[in-house]
Amino acid sequence: MAVPLLDLKPQNLALEPELTAAFSRVLRSGYYILGPELDRFEAAMAELCGVRHALGVSSGTDAILLALMSLGIGPGDEVIVPSFTFFATGGCVSRVGATPVFADVDPVTFNLQAAEVERHLTPRTRAVIPVHLFGQAADLDPLLDLLRPRGIPVVEDAAQALGARYQGRPVGALGTFGAFSFFPSKNLGAFGDAGLLTTDDDALADRARLLRLHGARPKYYHHAVGANFRMDALQAALLAVKVPHYARYTAQRRANAADYTARLSRLPGAGLAGAGQGLRLILPTVVSEPDHIWNQYTIRVPGPGRRDALRAFLTERSIGTEIYYPVPLHAQPCFAPPPGIARPTLPVSELLAAEVLSLPIYPELTADQRTEVVEAIAGFLATGR
Ligand SMILES: *Cc1c(COP(=O)(O)O)cnc(C)c1O
């Protein structure tokens, strides 16, 4: 039996009548960008995220970009980002003309920590972008305690973490801005690109709303140079069909993760990070039980070449996996420092890039498919590799 890394069809086809109806409604409305469908969706998202303002935008990348533009960040400014993340977290900093400063992450949670951020603070630091990687919140309180007195805003990259919580509070509502993505492989997946920007700050929300529409207010009177960051009415209408099911999708992901962890932890040499030396398979650590939303279930396979060997072993058995992410940002060619300046060394990000492997975790994964994955991994370990 094949086990794909992700199959979008079962979730979306189960809603085909409602999705088709939403499509027809938009088709007949003649209103295809922003508009009443988006207003309704934004209200639902503001409630889900526990924020005063939620703006539908063109993608998760554009949500981060719009946050930085709304904060007025530009040339000469530095923004601290984790190196172990998706490209957009750092790319958006360069796109506003500022300098991304890459910080290392925690090997247990994969997330940015306050002590590491503090090492990189300079008088030019204008923002920090913690990422809630794989659906688990970064440790925000120490970060906010460090940055608030200095007046440095936090932009949460919550692209992988819609509905995840930090000490009971929804992510995206704790920093100055939260950026979410509805890319189809995210936990709430659209039918194309879409994203969301959240904030509790009325003035910043107003600024972001202005910049989302080329800085025009009214139309054709431009107060600032913004861009086209608009979300389609169609994406809003289709996503709104999926919102009432979102809690169930998350519960299913949590059940899949709990099942993996229970069964994989019984394999010889498998355990949580810190469970002793010589682990051959490191399982993901959950900092706080009900808060993780499992965009990815990511294991570590220590030892030279072992991660790639396990991946090849699973591929041969038609089990899909992915490496999120094989190259940390500080090692990407586009972020190479100018000639004569050495690249920074960020040992944890480099180690994780060599060891991580994400397993299928999507909500509709069946018990038989999970068994197949666990047994294949057991088979790999039994070969002595
Ligand atoms: C997906 C993702 C983004 C970008 O979202 P898009 O909607 O694909 O533009 C940004 N940051 C992280 C961590 C992501 O996973």
Average pLDDT of span 261-287: 92
The alpha carbon of 270 and the centre of ligand 1 are apart by a number of angstroms equal to 30
Q: Ligand 1 in contact with 183 (CB < 6 A)? A: yes
Burial letters for 276-290: b for 16+ Cβ neighbours within 10 Å, e otherwise? eeebbbbbbbbeeee
Would you place residue 290 in the very low, low, confident or very high pLDDT band (cuts 50, 70, 90)? confident
- The rounded Å distance from CA 158 to ligand 1 centre is 8
Burial status of residue 141 (CB atoms within 10 A of its CB: 0-12, 13-18, 19 or more):
exposed
| Arithmetic mean of pLDDT, 28-34 | 94
With 0.85 as the threshold, say if the pTM is over it.
Answer: yes
Give the span between the Cα atoms of 92 and 81, in whole angstroms. 11
Any ligand 1 atom below 6 A from CB of 187: no
Q: What is the CA radius of gyration of the chain?
A: 21
Evaluate if residue 276 carries a pLDDT over 80: no
Ligand 1 contact, 358 CB (< 6 A): no
DSSP symbol at 271: E
Do 369 and 309 touch, CB atoms closer than 8 A? no
Dump pLDDT digits (tens) for 354-370. Answer: 999 999 999 999 999 99
- Whether the per-residue pLDDT at 275 is higher than 90: the answer is no
Confidence at residue 278, expressed as pLDDT on a 0 to 100 scale: 86
Q: What is the pLDDT of residues 139-169, one digit of tens each?
A: 999 999 999 999 999 999 999 999 999 999 9
Q: Is 137 within 8 Å of 165 (Cβ atoms)?
A: yes
Report how far ligand 1's centroid is from the alpha carbon of 79 (Å).
17
* Residues whose CB falls within 8 Å of the CB of residue 308, separated by 6 or more in sequence, listed in order: none
Q: Single out the residue of 347, 254, 334 nearest to residue 294, CA to CA.
A: 254
Length of the chain: 385
pLDDT of residue 51: 97
Report whether 347 contacts 104 (CB < 8 A): yes
